[in-house]
Amino acid sequence: MKKSKKQTKVLFVSSEVYPYAKSGGLADVSFGLPKAMLGAFDVSIIMPLYGSIDIKRFKIRHVEVFDIFLGAKKYKVELLSTTYESLKCYFVGSKIITDKKSLYGTPQSGYKDNDLRFGLFCKAVVAFAQSKNYDLLHLNDWQSALCALFIKEDATLKIQTLFTIHNLAYQGIFEKESLEKLGLKNEYFHMDALEFYGGISFMKAGIAYSDAVTTVSPNYAKEILTQEFGCGLEGFLSKHENKLTGILNGVDLFHFAPKTDTALLQNYDATSYDKKVENKKAYLQERNFENEQLPLFIFIGRFTWQKGVDLLIEALQELSQMKLNIAILGEGESKYHKQIKVQTAKAKNMDICFGYDEVLSHKMYASADFLLMPSLFEPCGLNQLISMSYGVIPLVSSVGGLKDSVHSLNDYDKSMACGNNLGYGFSFDKNEPNALIKTIQEALILYEDKKRFKEINMHNMSCDFSWDASAKVYTSLYKSLLEQIV
């Protein structure tokens, strides 16, 4: 009998994965992308076992226990696993990881021992990958970056590494003393290695020691080489530019498709766009909005500087006087919670929900007419892709992946757009005064032109923002890396 060729084994390493633990888009990507790669490779995911993960609900089972050394200190590690929608996920449990409920700490500051928590996670991942003969590790952000260094340290390991930067603003920066705690040689305290302004940066390990580096949109790949967006790493990244590419994220249509979304009162798609209004009516009534005829603008996201929350707050006073409704869902820095509360307290056309609520977010996408995304920088952004799939026109600042994925309505022409796969919306220059208000005014004019408004939404909804296109590019990248194994 002919022996079948062993399928290449890929381990997708991430600090957050939907549906187990999520703080933002990384969790969506860490489920959607590996799922899209399943046909081509034998892919599994591995993540830390935080105290907040519901072991019973996800039927997470014990696999094995082993010891890991960081420096002279021994840590007991428990490996667990489960399968969700055909995708196997492993969990790394150890007291310092599992005794905390939050993933990284509070919005104000990370846990003090995050160097050890994620250092231990990476060391355990490499030990596991070695014992199970993985061929390639796909690492994501600073929390998994040290895997690349641990692999390079052991010349006997034949494992390729791909490091994806989802957000350069979070780098995992720690004191120099962390090197010793992690059992890493002092020679890494060098500007070409981990040293970063007197401390050490985990992100630099991913960039320096991985075989290839990607980021989540072609435009962000260019931006991070500049001082404005490079977060102090632009020079370092330029040195490694030959292995850096940008691949736009996709959306997991199994979870984000208005046709099948179980959170919605009324399902719909491009061909039944008119049914969408049923969701809007129900949502506006549920949230006690006074005037159901007005267009609904939504903002969903982390309350942090990056997302342009200051621009939004600045505009709220004026927006409370305009003929529109606004719904905001998010959580984050407490100063923003307070400011938003104050600004919206008396407004009759605004609804604010503080917290993380997956179901509510789906209802909001299904009810809204416009999405506000005034980000100061945005590596890719998922909200604009989700919104276009749900028939919501995005208003975005022209940065990062937003520039790659939201095309100007000035260029929209029905006959030209017919059959193309470009999503259309409004984009503005974040540095221009009053840009957000001006763009909202343009959106209100568009809303009055019901025929064009519907036509654009139907076009956006018929575009394919799934993972398929990105998965093809990642597949060739994986293959070219695997060819380098000697």
What is the binding site for ligand ADP (CB under 6 A)?
24-26, 28, 300-302, 329-331, 356-358, 361, 381-383, 386
Residue nearest to ligand ADP (CB): 25
* C-alpha dihedral sign at 191, 197, 198, 202: negative
Closer residue to ligand ADP, CB minimum distance, 241 or 464: 464
We find the least distance from the C-beta atom of residue 187 to ligand ADP, in angstroms, to be: 34
Closer residue to ligand ADP, CB minimum distance, 247 or 300: 300
We find the least distance from the C-beta atom of residue 375 to ligand ADP, in angstroms, to be: 8
Closer residue to ligand ADP, CB minimum distance, 145 or 251: 251
Among candidate residues 382, 368, 372, 383, the one with its CA nearest the CA of residue 453: 368
Closer residue to ligand ADP, CB minimum distance, 206 or 400: 400
> Which residue has tokens 């992100």?
203
Distance CA 18, CA 203 (A): 22
Among candidate residues 130, 125, 135, the one with its CA nearest the CA of residue 161: 135
Closer residue to ligand ADP, CB minimum distance, 260 or 420: 260
Distance CA 367, CA 369 (A): 7
We find the least distance from the C-beta atom of residue 80 to ligand ADP, in angstroms, to be: 25
Residue 352 phi, psi dihedral angles, 5° rounding: -120, 130
Closer residue to ligand ADP, CB minimum distance, 94 or 215: 215
Closer residue to ligand ADP, CB minimum distance, 188 or 256: 256
Distance CA 379, CA 401 (A): 6
Task: Indicate the residue type of 461.
Answer: M
Alpha helices, DSSP H only, in 355-485? 358-367, 383-389, 400-405, 414-417, 435-448, 450-462, 468-483
Distance CA 97, CA 51 (A): 8
Give the pair of three-digit tokens for residue 134. Answer: 């993985």
We find the least distance from the C-beta atom of residue 371 to ligand ADP, in angstroms, to be: 10
We find the least distance from the C-beta atom of residue 475 to ligand ADP, in angstroms, to be: 22
Closer residue to ligand ADP, CB minimum distance, 178 or 361: 361
Distance CA 25, CA 299 (A): 15
- Residues 362 and 300 sit within 8 Å (Cβ to Cβ): no
Distance CA 392, CA 384 (A): 9
We find the least distance from the C-beta atom of residue 405 to ligand ADP, in angstroms, to be: 11
We find the least distance from the C-beta atom of residue 85 to ligand ADP, in angstroms, to be: 17
Closer residue to ligand ADP, CB minimum distance, 81 or 306: 306
Q: How many residues does the chain have?
A: 486
Q: Is 89 helix (H, G, I), strand (E, B) or coil?
A: strand
Q: Is 245 helix (H, G, I), strand (E, B) or coil?
A: strand
Distance CA 354, CA 477 (A): 40
We find the least distance from the C-beta atom of residue 383 to ligand ADP, in angstroms, to be: 5
Q: Could you report how far apart the first and last alpha carbons of the chain are, in Å?
A: 28
We find the least distance from the C-beta atom of residue 439 to ligand ADP, in angstroms, to be: 19
- Residues 332 and 352 sit within 8 Å (Cβ to Cβ): no
Closer residue to ligand ADP, CB minimum distance, 24 or 183: 24
We find the least distance from the C-beta atom of residue 76 to ligand ADP, in angstroms, to be: 32
Among candidate residues 148, 150, 66, 142, the one with its CA nearest the CA of residue 103: 142
Q: Is 240 helix (H, G, I), strand (E, B) or coil?
A: coil
- Residues 156 and 187 sit within 8 Å (Cβ to Cβ): no
Closer residue to ligand ADP, CB minimum distance, 18 or 289: 18
We find the least distance from the C-beta atom of residue 102 to ligand ADP, in angstroms, to be: 15
